[in-house]
Amino acid sequence: DAGVTQSPTHLIKTRGQQVTLRCSPKSGHDTVSWYQQALGQGPQFIFQYYEEEERQRGNFPDRFSGHQFPNYSSELNVNALLLGDSALYLCASSFPTGETQYFGPGTRLLVL
Protein backbone atom coordinates (compact mmCIF):
# COMPACT_ATOMS: atom_id res chain seq x y z
CA ASP A 1 0.00 0.00 0.00
CA ALA A 2 1.74 3.15 -1.22
CA GLY A 3 1.87 6.00 1.24
CA VAL A 4 1.90 9.69 0.39
CA THR A 5 4.53 10.50 -2.21
CA GLN A 6 5.98 13.89 -3.07
CA SER A 7 8.24 15.16 -5.82
CA PRO A 8 10.83 16.44 -6.15
CA THR A 9 12.66 15.72 -2.90
CA HIS A 10 14.86 18.80 -3.15
CA LEU A 11 14.71 21.96 -5.22
CA ILE A 12 16.81 25.10 -5.56
CA LYS A 13 15.31 28.27 -7.03
CA THR A 14 16.21 31.93 -7.14
CA ARG A 15 14.16 34.88 -5.90
CA GLY A 16 11.32 35.84 -8.20
CA GLN A 17 11.01 32.43 -9.82
CA GLN A 18 8.00 30.17 -9.68
CA VAL A 19 7.91 26.59 -8.38
CA THR A 20 5.51 23.64 -8.62
CA LEU A 21 5.51 20.82 -6.09
CA ARG A 22 3.60 17.59 -6.54
CA CYS A 23 1.84 15.15 -4.23
CA SER A 24 0.13 11.81 -4.66
CA PRO A 25 -2.14 10.82 -1.80
CA LYS A 26 -2.20 7.54 0.07
CA SER A 27 -4.27 4.89 -1.64
CA GLY A 28 -7.97 5.38 -0.87
CA HIS A 29 -7.61 9.01 0.24
CA ASP A 30 -9.21 11.83 -1.72
CA THR A 31 -8.29 14.89 0.36
CA VAL A 32 -4.92 16.62 0.24
CA SER A 33 -3.49 19.26 2.59
CA TRP A 34 -0.30 21.27 2.21
CA TYR A 35 1.93 22.56 5.01
CA GLN A 36 5.05 24.70 5.15
CA GLN A 37 7.71 23.97 7.75
CA ALA A 38 10.45 26.53 8.28
CA LEU A 39 13.64 25.40 9.93
CA GLY A 40 13.18 24.79 13.65
CA GLN A 41 9.42 25.35 13.60
CA GLY A 42 6.33 23.19 13.42
CA PRO A 43 4.44 22.77 10.14
CA GLN A 44 2.03 25.57 9.22
CA PHE A 45 -1.17 24.83 7.29
CA ILE A 46 -1.35 26.34 3.80
CA PHE A 47 -4.58 24.90 2.39
CA GLN A 48 -6.62 21.76 1.80
CA TYR A 49 -8.16 20.41 -1.40
CA TYR A 50 -11.18 18.18 -1.70
CA GLU A 51 -13.19 17.42 -4.83
CA GLU A 52 -10.76 19.59 -6.81
CA GLU A 53 -11.68 22.66 -4.75
CA GLU A 54 -9.80 24.56 -2.06
CA ARG A 55 -11.97 24.18 1.01
CA GLN A 56 -9.85 25.73 3.74
CA ARG A 57 -6.89 28.08 3.65
CA GLY A 58 -4.36 29.15 6.23
CA ASN A 59 -2.69 32.53 6.57
CA PHE A 60 -0.66 32.47 3.36
CA PRO A 61 -0.59 35.07 0.56
CA ASP A 62 -2.12 34.55 -2.86
CA ARG A 63 1.33 33.72 -4.22
CA PHE A 64 0.58 30.26 -2.87
CA SER A 65 -1.95 28.42 -5.01
CA GLY A 66 -2.88 24.84 -5.60
CA HIS A 67 -4.71 22.40 -7.72
CA GLN A 68 -6.21 18.97 -7.31
CA PHE A 69 -6.65 16.60 -10.21
CA PRO A 70 -9.44 14.05 -10.82
CA ASN A 71 -7.10 11.26 -9.62
CA TYR A 72 -6.80 13.18 -6.29
CA SER A 73 -3.15 14.11 -6.77
CA SER A 74 -2.29 17.72 -6.08
CA GLU A 75 0.12 20.48 -6.92
CA LEU A 76 1.32 23.43 -4.87
CA ASN A 77 2.44 26.47 -6.83
CA VAL A 78 4.39 29.36 -5.39
CA ASN A 79 4.96 32.48 -7.49
CA ALA A 80 7.46 35.29 -7.07
CA LEU A 81 9.60 33.31 -4.65
CA LEU A 82 11.08 35.08 -1.64
CA LEU A 83 14.06 34.02 0.45
CA GLY A 84 11.58 33.39 3.28
CA ASP A 85 9.83 30.72 1.22
CA SER A 86 12.78 28.41 1.86
CA ALA A 87 11.26 25.55 3.84
CA LEU A 88 10.18 21.93 3.88
CA TYR A 89 6.83 21.62 2.09
CA LEU A 90 4.70 18.77 3.34
CA CYS A 91 1.71 17.14 1.77
CA ALA A 92 -0.78 15.17 3.84
CA SER A 93 -3.70 13.05 2.67
CA SER A 94 -6.84 11.90 4.41
CA PHE A 95 -10.45 10.89 3.96
CA PRO A 96 -12.90 13.80 3.57
CA THR A 97 -13.79 13.74 7.25
CA GLY A 98 -10.12 14.47 7.82
CA GLU A 99 -9.81 12.70 11.13
CA THR A 100 -6.28 11.52 10.52
CA GLN A 101 -3.84 13.05 8.07
CA TYR A 102 -0.90 11.05 6.77
CA PHE A 103 2.15 12.99 5.69
CA GLY A 104 4.58 12.50 2.87
CA PRO A 105 8.36 12.91 3.20
CA GLY A 106 8.26 16.52 2.00
CA THR A 107 10.01 18.64 -0.60
CA ARG A 108 12.85 20.79 0.63
CA LEU A 109 12.89 24.12 -1.22
CA LEU A 110 15.84 26.48 -1.05
CA VAL A 111 15.43 29.97 -2.47
CA LEU A 112 18.67 31.83 -3.21
Partner 1 sequence: DAKTTQPTSMDCAEGRAANLPCNHSTISGNEYVYWYRQIHSQGPQYIIHGLKNNETNEMASLIITEDRKSSTLILPHATLRDTAVYYCIVRVGSDYKLSFGAGTTVTVRA
Q: State the residues that interact with partner 1 by CB under 8 A.
A: 4, 31, 33, 35, 41-45, 48, 55-56, 58, 88, 90, 92, 98-106
Instruction: Between 38 and 80, name the residue whose CB sits nearer to partner 1.
Output: 38
Say which DSSP state 25 is in: P
CB of 62 to partner 1, least distance (A): 18
- Residues 111, 83 contacting (CB under 8 angstroms): yes
CB of 43 to partner 1, least distance (A): 5
Instruction: Between 3 and 75, name the residue whose CB sits nearer to partner 1.
Output: 3
Instruction: Between 85 and 107, name the residue whose CB sits nearer to partner 1.
Output: 107
CB of 19 to partner 1, least distance (A): 19
Q: In terms of residues, how long is the chain? A: 112
Residues whose CB falls within 8 Å of the CB of residue 41, separated by 6 or more in sequence, listed in order: none
CB of 45 to partner 1, least distance (A): 4
- Residues 92, 72 contacting (CB under 8 angstroms): no
